[in-house]
Each structure stands twice: as C-alpha cells, then as structure tokens.
A and B are shown apart, each in its own frame.
Chain A
Amino acid sequence: MTSKPAVALYLGESYATIGLFDISQKNNPASLFEKSIFLPQVSLKNLLTQVKIKYQEHFPDYNDAHVFVVTKYFDRLKQFRLGGSISQVILKGFENSYNLNDSKCLSLAASQLIISLDKNQFEESHLASELERIKKINPDLNKVVISIPEEHITSAQMTVLHNFFTSAGLKIFTCISANNQSELRKTLLNAGSEGTKEEIVTELKEAFGEKTEVSFYSPKGFKTQFENCELFNSTNNFLAKFIKTNKYEQGAYFDIESLKFIQQHKGNNWQSPWGSIPVEHSHYYDLFIHPFSEVKLNHLSILQVESGSLQLEPGPVVAGRAIKPLMLDLFFNEMAENSLSQNLFSQLSQDNLRQKISNMFSVLEKGQKNPALSTQIKDLKTNILDSIYNEILFYSEASQPVVFGPMADVFVPKAGLQRLEFSWPQEILKVAASEGAL
C-alpha cells in the first residue's frame, strides 16, 4: 500500500507539538515523527524544517500534505489593542460605536484610520482623498472593514466601495449586520487577526508546499474555511470534543501554559477582551493560578504567585534564560519526570540550573520583611496544589472530575481524580479521522 502523509500540529502560545503520520491505513495511522518546542527559544519555522526533512524522507512523491492545526496561538493577541493596520468605513456619526457597550474593553480599531461617510460621499474621488489621508498616518494599512447599514447604501454604491478598495490593494472585510455593534466587533476582530492566521498558513505552505491543505479546528470541526474569530477558542473547542469522546461532561486540562476547566455546553457570545463577540464556543474557565505567573514579593512584601501578568517571554527559568521565577519553576523537580517538560526544556536536568532556581526562591523567602506574613516555598507549593484541587471540585460540582493534559502528572495534587492519557498529535489525528478528513 502507498504511504500517505498527514501532519498534526498543536500551536500554543508558548509551545508547539507536531506529529507526522502515515495514514495509508486509516484505522491504524503510523506515527513517524513527533517533537515539541518552546517557541521563545525555537521558531515554528525551525520545527517545520525538521518535520519537512522527515516528510521528504518518508513521502518523496508527495507535495500536497494535509495539516491539521489546533491552536492557542491567537491568545497572544488578547493583551493588545488591535486594528493598527485596519481602516473602518462607517456611516458618519457612528465613529467608534463598537466599544460604547463598555469602553474599558481593548480597542479593535484605530480612530485615526476611520473613513466616515455621509450618504453623498460614496464617490471614488472622496474615497481616494480619504485613503490618501489615512495612508499618511499608516502607510502599511492593508485591510478595510466596511460597515454601512443596508438602508443607507445601494448595491451600486457598495460595488463602488468594493472595487475601490480592491484596486487599492486592501483586503476587504464586510460586516453583514452593520446596525449590530457585536457583529461589527466580530468583523473587526476577523480583520485584526488575519495577519496572525496568514503568518501560520504561510509558514506551513513554505514547509510542505503551496498545495498544502491547512485545516484549523473550528466550532464545526477541522475546516479550511472559517472566520478568524473562531480560532480564538480552537483549543477549548477541541478539548471539549476530547472530553465528550471519552464520555465525560467536563474536565480539567493541564499543560505548561494553561490550567483550565472545560465544559461540554456551548455559548454563543464570547466575552472577549475586546467585548462580547457572537461566536459559538465551549464554556471554559481559566484557573486562578497560571503557570507563567511570576512568583514574587508583592507590594505588601508577601511571597505569592502574581495573578494577571503572564511572562511568556522569555518564559520560566527552567527554559534557561529567564531571571524572574515563575509558578512553573516551583515544580522543577516534578517537571524533571514529565515528558513534555523534558522535551521543551533541555537544561532541566542540569545541576547548575536547578541550583540557580533554588537560590532564586531562597532569596525571595529571605526577602519577606514581616515574619507574621511570611511563607515558605514548600508551603506556597502546597497552597497552589490545594487551590488547583479545590477549584476543580468547585467547577465539577457533584460530578466526578476528570483530569488530563501533558502536565497532569505535575499538577494533579491528590488521588481520587480520574486521569485520561492525552497526546496532542494523536488526539488531533483521531478527531480528523472521526470527521472523515483523512
């Protein structure tokens, strides 16, 4: 039987895991290669180059790979205002209307790049002068969101707009329901995350060839066509599917960049950092403690894991470069036995790194000024594990909680919780197979 390739990629915020498979026997795909990298240290391009060598070795006759992607990479955007290279074409009087619902949300578009039009301003000459104006503000502007309510524009005027911006080389995103501010936010988010998606697709096509078919996991399964905003919950939707396949209602997932609790039931409005976005997604809760949160003395000189700010770059001290210890670093001993950690952090077993981490925590312990508010590192670790366990119980209510994920052995604190085996490439391929996508 002829060999047939498939690539399964989990692209997280901070790490990626890839698997190359021979799927000539659909019921029994053969794993040919698997590797994980820590993205602040090794680029995705570098990882893909390694897979490409294996790919060419095993499949010399193929140049149209099928790549299945589950991603959390878009979470990187969640800390930022978007829309720096997007123009908004809207009706005069509706400038920045998309964030009046809650102005404290992150912005999705730059005010200076708005083209606001009156009914009599849809001619090309006016559009040209407006485009010239905003191109002076941002010469790299390459996308435009058109959001004019149907009752204010004729189809001929809409055609003028489309033709004008297409000929100007701008990618057009049209809001289908311009009177609905949440639909406008959704369109702006689609435009704002287009660059990130294109970056991923381009790298995959560079590695496996132009004909490569890239399917991302969306609420409807692995798809090549989707709205970009659906990719923000790609991982959560996939993990919910995994839980369902294993006949559970809910479960806790642990890896190096997230500790979360996922439920089966779905919502239609995602409360994003940019406001409410109408997109189907599985319900999930991030646990209080994040593996990339800094362990520090706070303003009260209390030793604790800081909530909120995540130190994705340069990452934990166990990765070798960082100078701020993170929550992950507290578990460097346990991580030495964990296969994902061994894969990602090659220096983990080095005595000098382990000594460095111990010294850092020792300095923090001794830096506590008030004996009445002092904590020892071992107690902090116990608190973290207790907190994780209690939070799992909190979300799982009366039902039996299940835990899984590449770091489940490090963070699952107590016996009595059911654990499921989980490997990203294997599970991605299983789901692709179950959807008939192989």
Chain B
Amino acid sequence: MNFLNYQSHLKILLKNFKSCSLVNADGALLYSKDNSFELLTTTRLVAFQIVKKYLNPKPQDLFILNDPENGGYQYSKIVFITCLNPNLFLIWDEDYHFIDFKIPPTPLFDQGRKNEFVWQAMISANKNADELEAFFEYQKYTVDRLMHLVSLIEDLANSKSQQIWLKASNEVFNTQFNNKAHGTAEAYFKLNSTQTIKLKFSAEEKQNLKLITLDFTNTNLATDIHTSSHVIESALIKKISEFFQIGDYLTQAVLDKIKVILPPRSIVSKPHPAGLYNYELQTICSQVCEHNMTQLNAHNRKGQNTFDYANFLNFEVYGETLHANNLISATQVSLQNFEQLICKNLIKMTAMKKTDSSHHIIFSVCTDNPLKLNIKNNYYSDKLNNQFKLNDQLLQRGSVELKKNDRIEIIWG
C-alpha cells in the first residue's frame, strides 16, 4: 500500500464524520478532521488516552464522555471512543444539546453488547429518554456500518502501512515548513482590564530539527474566564495545519513538531467545569496565532503589527425539543435550526435583513412554553455598533428565559 492509497482509505472510512480522529494502539494520530464550529483534535486525543488507561478498550466497545474537567469539551458535546481493531481506534464527537449533566468516561457498549446498567441509569431515567436512546443507537449504527469494511480496516491498522503514511506526512510537513518564514512573532489580546493572553509563535530549525513553538508565557492566571489546555491546543493545531496547508496530512508526525507552552492554571490551561468559554477562547487564540504567522511571513514586516480581534456573536435559542445554535461574524451568518423555530411557531420574525456589511434581526416569542436564550461570548465592543437587546434592554453574555411576546433585536455590523 502506498500513502495515496492509505489516504483514500482514511477518507472513505471517515466520510460520514464531521469531527473525528483516528489513532493507533500507541495513541499516534493518523488522521483528524474538524468541520464543526468547535475544534477538538487534542480533546479527542486526551479522551482516548483516558479511556485507554482506565478502561482498556476492546473491539466493538463504545465509550462516551463529556466532562470538561476530565478530557471533555462541554456537556452538550459527547465524545465517543471505539476500537475498530486492536491497532486502530476511532474517536469522534457529536452535539446533543439536551444533555446538561456531566458524563465521566463510561462504557455504553461492551464488545457490541449494550451496557444495561449504564443504559438504565443514564438514558432510561432521562426525561428525553426516547430521543437520547435514538441518538446513542444511531452512533452505534455508524460504527457498525464501518465494521463490515473488514479489509479496509485491516489495511489501515497495518503497522507497516501506518509507518508509510506517517513518513509521508512527515515529508509534507518538512516541505511546508521550509516554504514558510522562520523566526518569531508575538501578540497579545486583552480579555478585560486586568487579564491578557500573550502568545509568542516561533518556527525554527536547529540541528536539522524543525520545531514550531507556541508560548503562552506571561498570560495571566485564570480568574473567571478560562479553559483546558487541550481546548486551546486543538484550535492552534487547526490554524497551523491551515496556514501551512498540511490538509489530510495532520498526523502524529506533525504534532511531534509542535510544542505548546502553557503556564499552569492560566486562562489557557485551567479547565472550566462546564467548558463555557471554550469556543470564545479558541477563537481568540486562533486569531492571535494566525496574526503571528501572518506577521512573520509578511513581505513588509513593518506593516500593521498590532492584533485586531475580529469579534463574533454566538448565541443559542432553545425550547424543550428544539435547539438553535447561531453564529454571526464578519464573514459568516449561520442561524442553524432558526427556520424550524419559525416553522413551529415558537418565534415570529419581524425583521431578518442582510446587507453587505450589516445584519438586522428582530423576533418575538409566540409560544406559551418557555424558551431559553444564551449569549455564549462577549460580543459587545465599544468600537462597533453591535447590539443584542431583549425588550430594548442591552444583553451581555449569559442566559435568560424568554416569555411570550418578548422581543429580541440583534444588530450586527
């Protein structure tokens, strides 16, 4: 098998997953993709290491976890770990917004058989038992679908083939590393009046050793806003992979060339119990990292060198059965499931306007059943005209309950 063959095998096996990683028995990353808003490459690797160490996964086992303080990302992001072959493990994550409780590493299926104890305690007792059961059954089905690709899985699990693939990705990294500028660049972002995130990026080759270092030294200690180191690492790895155009070749061979220095218990290395600030801090660090790499590679290094944060608005609206996660940024508007809220008469739009540079949305609640609104990040900026109002009162980050006839107005841009 050559590396192109290995690559097409990987893509076919993982075609239906939006966000997943494949590792071998040593935990070496063979493939990773992150096509959701949230980025979890390193989170999935941490989840795998925890399950491997304490639960020793066997073929057709299926484990789950979501605890942000123990290898997870946030309650609603369920991380699945399964063994496809003794030398091949698949880790993926899926959103299920009606899980609002902590799940430690838990065996959901034991060598293909349902773990009745867990099923009873966690699923049958839940108020959304039917939906939850269907969700987990579907995840099991997605793995079962893969298991009939016996020959393809054996090829991917073959140690010799894995070495060929890792060697190819090492070559790709070396080529791309040499195509970019070497040196250092640093920038900072003020989270608030007292807290700062500082990131120094360096790309250096010493004694034939190519190394990218991301150093958060001098970032403040965590107070109220903070996240796990693996959450930050996932965002940085994705940004580096994009900037260096590594594509499918993001493997352990590349991860071994990236060193991340995170001061203990700082904003970027202290897990938050509910993972509330993960996406916001990922976005900030990702933008700072990109700024540094762009500065380092700019032809005119005397150009703009202060970091300007491109803010965004992330908010969710949900009821008992419907959940809409929404993102508005300078480059994208994504009101997922919003149309369903309208069609099911939970909300009524009175404005929904998009021009080249701004968005204006007004809706009112038309259901007697309570809806919840949660603004997930600090979208507000004195410099811009961005507003999020409930009955003409400006809202900041946080959660509020919406009543019938409440009026929401969003102005962006």
Contact = CB atoms under 8 A, between A and B. Distances in A.
Do A and B truly interact?
Answer: yes
B411 interface: no
B149 interface: yes
B356 A111 contact: yes
B349 interface: yes
B163 interface: no
A99 B175 CA distance: 40
B100 interface: no
Nearest to B13: A394
A179 to B, nearest CB: 6
Given A372-B167, A373-B3, A179 B335 contact: no
Interface in A234-248: none
A300 interface: yes
A96 B335 CA distance: 14
B393 interface: no
Contacts of A373: 3, 168, 171-172
Contacts of A94: 349, 351-353
Contacts of A79: none
Interface string B316-354: 000000000000000011111011001100000111111
A393 B149 contact: yes
Given A103-B334, A103-B354, A372-B168, A300 B148 contact: no
Most buried by B among A301, A383, A393, A398: A383
Interface in A160-191: 179-182
Contacts of B167: 372
Contact of B354 (A100, A299, A304): A100
A421 interface: no
Contacts of A394: 12-13, 15, 145, 149, 152
Interface stretch (A13-21, A207-215, A225-233, A384-392): A384-392
Contact of B333 (A103, A179, A370): A103
A380 B4 contact: yes
Contact of B175 (A179, A180, A370, A393): A370
A95 B3 CA distance: 49
Interface residues of B, number: 43
Contact of A101 (B12, B145, B171, B336): B336
Contacts of B335: 100-102
Contact of A390 (B2, B12, B245): B12
A93 B350 contact: yes
A398 B148 CA distance: 7
Given A370-B175, A379-B2, A288 B332 contact: no
B242 to A, nearest CB: 13
A101 B354 contact: no
Contacts of A95: 353-355
A181 B339 contact: yes
Nearest to B146: A394
A397 interface: yes
Interface in A356-405: 370, 372-373, 375, 379-380, 382-383, 386-387, 390-391, 393-394, 397-398
B339 A101 contact: yes
Nearest to B354: A96
Given A100-B335, A390-B12, A391-B12, A302 B356 contact: no
A114 to B, nearest CB: 10
Given A94-B352, A101-B339, A372-B168, A302 B4 contact: yes
A97 interface: yes
Given A370-B175, A373-B172, A99 B354 contact: yes
A104 B3 CA distance: 33
Contact of A93 (B148, B171, B360): B360
A345 B249 CA distance: 38
Contacts of B359: 100
Given A93-B350, A93-B351, A101-B336, A386 B168 contact: no
A179 B346 CA distance: 13
A158 B5 CA distance: 60
B36 to A, nearest CB: 14
A179 B361 CA distance: 14
A387 B11 CA distance: 9
Contact of B355 (A111, A372, A397): A111
Given A101-B339, A182-B339, A93 B353 contact: yes
A100 B361 contact: yes
Interface in B161-181: 167-168, 171-172, 175-176
A390 B6 CA distance: 12
A389 to B, nearest CB: 10
B56 interface: no
A102 B12 contact: no
B166 to A, nearest CB: 12
A96 B353 contact: yes
A366 to B, nearest CB: 17
Contacts of B2: 375, 379, 383
A397 B354 contact: no
A390 B171 contact: no
B9 interface: yes
A386 B352 contact: no
B381 interface: no
Given A96-B355, A104-B332, A375 B171 contact: no
Nearest to A371: B171
Given A288-B11, A394-B149, A101 B355 contact: no
A288 B342 CA distance: 36
Nearest to B3: A373
A373 B355 CA distance: 47
B171 A372 contact: yes
A390 B343 CA distance: 40
B207 interface: no
A304 B248 CA distance: 13
Given A180-B343, A383-B8, A300 B333 contact: no
Interface in A77-117: 93-97, 99-104, 111
A100 B333 contact: yes
B15 A100 contact: no
A123 to B, nearest CB: 23
Nearest to A393: B149
Interface string A321-364: 00000000000000000000000000000000000000000000
B353 A97 contact: yes
A257 B170 CA distance: 35
Contacts of B9: 390
Given A100-B338, A182-B339, A386 B175 contact: no
A288 B353 contact: no
Given A93-B360, A101-B336, A387 B352 contact: no
Contact of A375 (B4, B249, B339, B362): B4
A394 to B, nearest CB: 5
Contacts of A104: 332, 334
B367 to A, nearest CB: 15
Task: With a 10 A CB-CB cut-off, give which of B4, B5, B148, B168 has the most chain A CB atoms.
Answer: B4
- Rank and list the top 4 A-B pairs by shortest CB-CB distance, nearest first: A93-B351, A97-B352, A96-B354, A103-B333
26 contacts: A93-B350, A93-B351, A93-B360, A94-B349, A96-B353, A97-B349, A97-B352, A97-B353, A100-B333, A100-B335, A100-B359, A101-B336, A102-B335, A103-B332, A111-B356, A180-B342, A300-B175, A302-B4, A372-B168, A372-B171, A373-B3, A373-B172, A380-B4, A383-B2, A394-B13, A397-B145
Given A100-B361, A299-B245, A373-B172, 15 more contacts: A93-B350, A93-B353, A96-B354, A99-B333, A100-B335, A100-B359, A101-B336, A102-B336, A103-B333, A181-B342, A302-B4, A370-B171, A383-B4, A393-B148, A394-B145
